Structure 1
């Protein structure tokens, strides 16, 4: 892959390279194959999500290491036999696999049709369903994997810090948007909405699990056995309605307000006597807006009304919560107090050097150490200067590079960028190593676009230099262009292999 083709891709839609193509797909549907088209068409709304597919049991067994106990995740607090497993497909994509017994879905056709129905949904607020498996007695669902735990974990079992107020408002808003989308798409029923069903993706954004959109199975209940949190109409007739979902959303609002599981009846008593301070989570230490808290309490009260007709619809939920989003510019992972999850590019086909290993792991610290150690040995032969050029400009230029090298060694990456830029701007001497070092500095400063440009410049100066390709691979992976990152890793490993054979 040449630097020009990479540059063209990077300057269009680096984070969503297939956005235009996906948005042009025409919807069509037929059992087994047709659902992929509407799923892809909706990907423009939900990000780049794989098309819905049918998986083999062997694929999912390999992905989960034979459904190993070590890969069980508590996505919804469920117990055996309906467990959720973390897995990884051959293309290195992380997945969540929910395993049912045959008795849960005795009719394989019904299971497949229900999975296809949920699989047509695609939205950025959902942990989307991407496939299923129905072989013999096996019934499995496959969804996007959310690596940052559940709302229940962050609210009730937090280890580092509690969720700040603005993030709680964001969770409420995002889940309301998810419910509104599902309702507008003709799937308004959601089974047992609770804090375990709210998941956090690799960016820390809250998403609603798609598993709750599946219809009630034969051996399961639509709601947990704790009757205190069950909609009253479900206790009367055992049926889930859109209004039942609103009641459950109200219990999630109570969780967000209080930081603990409070029975709705008890919470409503506090609200009626205006004892709202007692309802609020003490771990917030008063760091919240009283006006916003009052709005959220009022909305929870509306959702928890005994008569279903007295509860708001999903459109009203969104309209009330939207104005409360006052910190929309702050990334979710920052507010949640977690590191942004980075997914390493897939393993290249060719053997890797230490540089290749570091880049495949996205280990920027190791890359830095390698670039410091190798110094400028790969720059030999890239410059031919006249005596006049040397005497007139070289001293200031080399001084700028020297200062950049000291800053780079000391991990003062912003200063290194400034000094290396002075060196580059003079233009008398070109150095692929300077471009590679400045590329890493940009990565350290979370400037993946600039890092990619520098790595491509290094390739243009030294077309067969593996390091230039490796640095492009890391930058592309940071831009979520994982397929291109894999290509770059393979090209770099191939160049290293040729170099070894030629030596």
Structure 2
């Protein structure tokens, strides 16, 4: 288990959270009157985003290329339990702070159900960061090219391109027609399995706008000539996505156009889609892709005409996206472990038994700065506080345990996720759910992938009457525990 040694205090942020709504596949795009469902754009401090991402922990990286990505994206969680994605630009990307803030605020005014909306930014010193809604169900690239359980169904592929076209139409109507490097990694799936367009692509990756990072075979012809992105360039990229969805793999547009001209639809379409669509539907999508990939930009359709062409093609519109995708919905769970069951029932006695039996083995690997220094009287006193707390915890003297663990924590010489977890449970038993939540979140800061921290957050959130957030934390704990158990243990 990777550990970040940090004693960050959870930040105070606005409590606005977008309402969770299961939308119908053919829902119309919201207008600006719906924007109140989302938090307003705001500026975060660097400290707040460090807290949310457990100190930009490696375990929280969700970028396509991990740490090697030029601009790294992390998942994170605010104190109000809202999950976020944080894009951290490299130090040379935006030297002009004012330009970065202006661009961020402009994109941050957009609010739509087809976007993973931009919620805020951070501009401190040389740091440039963007904050957006977190989409928990991977990218289109993952589901289309690297699927594990089932290939994406035809009806879902049609839904993806319609939602994407609607997103582009909305952005165009708001004066943001440029989208940089549109590809399968920019399309994300939310908690309901609905496709959303990442708002990160609405901003340049740097002040010069040179943001096409894909293979040159996939970039618009005019970009190769001028080095600039235009609204028509975005439509060309949309055409390459249509090809991706048809074929289930990357096909260079030039090769695809040769296949299209040869009218060989079978060579172009994914063999996994056999029997799922008619020749007429396939031909219509191919025709639309061909129009998007025209060499001359003026001959390509605009987003509004794309929506008009794609809407009539939709299939199985009454089936919810997460069902079509075959993914677990946020309100459903795989089988719970005994600890997960205890947390779902808020069985504090059973949780106490688990933590007691677990001991401190999950603290292994915590890098305490003073671990290899000479033991001092202060260090010995600190360890004695922990030992006294452990005895009180075992004997169920939770008031004394809180007192002793607090003395251990307050000295600041060592960090221990287990101590925070134990004190969190003591607070829960003492009917102090807010204090329990704070400690469970601090345990997560120290150990970003520790399932017990998420489980305890779930119990504390239930005590605070935050049922939706509690369910999300319980599911997160279940997922982390499942991944942990699936990881081979070193002998």
Aligned counterparts of 1:343 and 1:109: Cα–Cα separation in 2: 45
The residue aligned with 2:468 is: 477
2:240 aligned residue: 251
Contact 1:83 1:100 in 2 (8 A): yes
Aligned match of 1:357: 343
Q: Does the 8 Å CA contact 1:199/1:209 hold for their aligned counterparts?
A: yes
Could you say what secondary structure the match of 1:87 adopts? strand
Q: Does 1:95 align with 2:66?
A: no
Paired residues of 2:135 and 2:191 also in contact (CA < 8 A): yes
Question: How far apart, in 2, do the equivalents of 1:42 and 1:480 lie?
Answer: 30
Please report how far the alpha carbon of residue 14 of structure 1 lies from its aligned counterpart in structure 2 after TM superposition: 8.8
> Among 279, 288, 295, which residue is 2:277 paired with?
288
| Correspondent of 1:231 among 220, 224, 236 | 220
Answer yes or no: is the 8 Å Cα contact 1:103–1:218 preserved in 2. Answer: no
**Bigger shift: residues 187-196 or 278-287:** 278-287
Q: Secondary structure of the residue that 1:341 maps to in structure 2?
A: coil
**Structure 1 position 58 matched with structure 2 position 47:** yes
In 1: Cα distance, 2:209 partner to 2:346 partner? 43
For residues 51 and 129 of structure 1, the distance between their equivalents in structure 2, rounded to whole angstroms, comes to 9
Partner of 1:44: 34
Find the residue that maps to 1:131 and give its secondary structure: strand
Of 221, 224, 236 in structure 1, the residue corresponding to residue 210 of structure 2 is 221
Whether the 8 Å CA contact 1:53–1:132 is kept in 2: the answer is: yes
1:75 touches 1:150 (CA, 8 Å); kept in 2? no
TM-score, scaled relative to structure 1: 0.61
Deviation at 1:324, TM superposition (A): 1.1
Provide the rounded CA distance (Å) in 1 between the counterparts of 2:182 and 2:262.
27
- Closer, same or farther: CA 310–355 of 1 in aligned 2, 3 Å: closer
Is the 2:331–2:471 contact (alpha carbons within 8 Å) kept by the matching residues of 1? no
Contact 1:175 / 1:206 at 8 angstroms: preserved in 2? yes
- Partner Cα distance (2:143, 2:115) in 1: 18
| Residue aligned with 1:124, SS | coil
Kept in 2: contact 1:359–1:471 (CA 8 A): no
Partner of residue 118, structure 2: 129
Q: Is the 8 A contact 2:158 2:315 kept in 1?
A: no
Tell me the equivalent position of 1:147: 136
- Cα separation, 1, equivalents of 2:83 and 2:218: 33
Q: Partner of 2:108 in structure 1? A: 119
Is the Cα contact below 8 Å between 2:192 and 2:321 reproduced in 1? yes
Cα 1:14–1:472 shift into 2, 3 Å: farther
Does 1:71 find its partner at 2:57? no
- In the other structure, the counterpart of 2:298 is 309
Matches within 5 A, 1:261-300: 261-300=250-289
Q: Deviations over 1:212-256 (max 9, x none)?
A: 000351477321241100000000001111000000000000000
- Cα offset, 1:113, TM superposition: 0.5
Partner of 1:194: 183
Q: Secondary structure at 1:73's aligned position in 2?
A: coil
Deviation at 1:15, TM superposition (A): 5.8
Q: Does 1:211 align with 2:197?
A: no
Counterpart-to-counterpart distance in 1, 2:227 and 2:164: 24
Within 2, Cα distance between the matches of 1:43 and 1:83?
A: 33
Give the distance between the partners of 1:329 and 1:202, measured in 2 at CA.
Answer: 18
- Aligned-pair distance for 1:73? 0.3
> What's the secondary structure of 2:267's corresponding residue?
helix
- Distance change in 2, residues 1:202/1:15 (3 Å): closer
Residues 129 and 322 (structure 1 numbering): CA distance in 2 closer, same or farther, change over 3 Å?
A: same
Tell me if structure 1 keeps the 8 A contact 2:292–2:301: yes
Superposition deviation, residue 278 in structure 1: 0.7
Shift of 1:50: 1.6
SS at match of 1:140: strand
The change in CA–CA distance for 1:480 and 1:49 in structure 2 (over 3 A counts) is: farther
Cα distance change of structure 1 residues 299 and 14 upon mapping to structure 2, 3 Å threshold: closer
Equivalent residues of 1:14, 1:481 under 8 A apart: no
Q: Aligned equivalents of 2:169 and 2:340: distance in 1?
A: 49
2:314 to 316, 320, 325: 325
Q: Please, which of 79, 98, 105 is the counterpart of residue 94 of structure 2?
A: 105
Residue 8 of structure 2 is matched in structure 1 by none
Higher relative contact order (CA 8 A, sep 6+): 2
Q: State how far apart, in whole Å, the 1-side matches of 2:462 and 2:71 are.
A: 42
Matched position secondary structure for 2:37: coil
* SS of residue matched to 1:85: strand
1:167 aligns with 2:151: no
Partner Cα distance (2:470, 2:163) in 1: 24
Q: CA offsets, 1:348-389, max 9 Å, x none?
A: xxxxx999931579xxxx9xxxxxxxxxxxxxxxxxxxxxxx
- Give the CA deviation at 1:102: 2.9
Contact 1:133 1:139 in 2 (8 A): yes
What is the Cα deviation at residue 293 of structure 1? 1.1
What is the RMSD of the two structures over their aligned residues, measured on CA atoms? 3.2
Moved more, 74-83 or 174-183: 74-83
Other-structure match for 1:374 = none
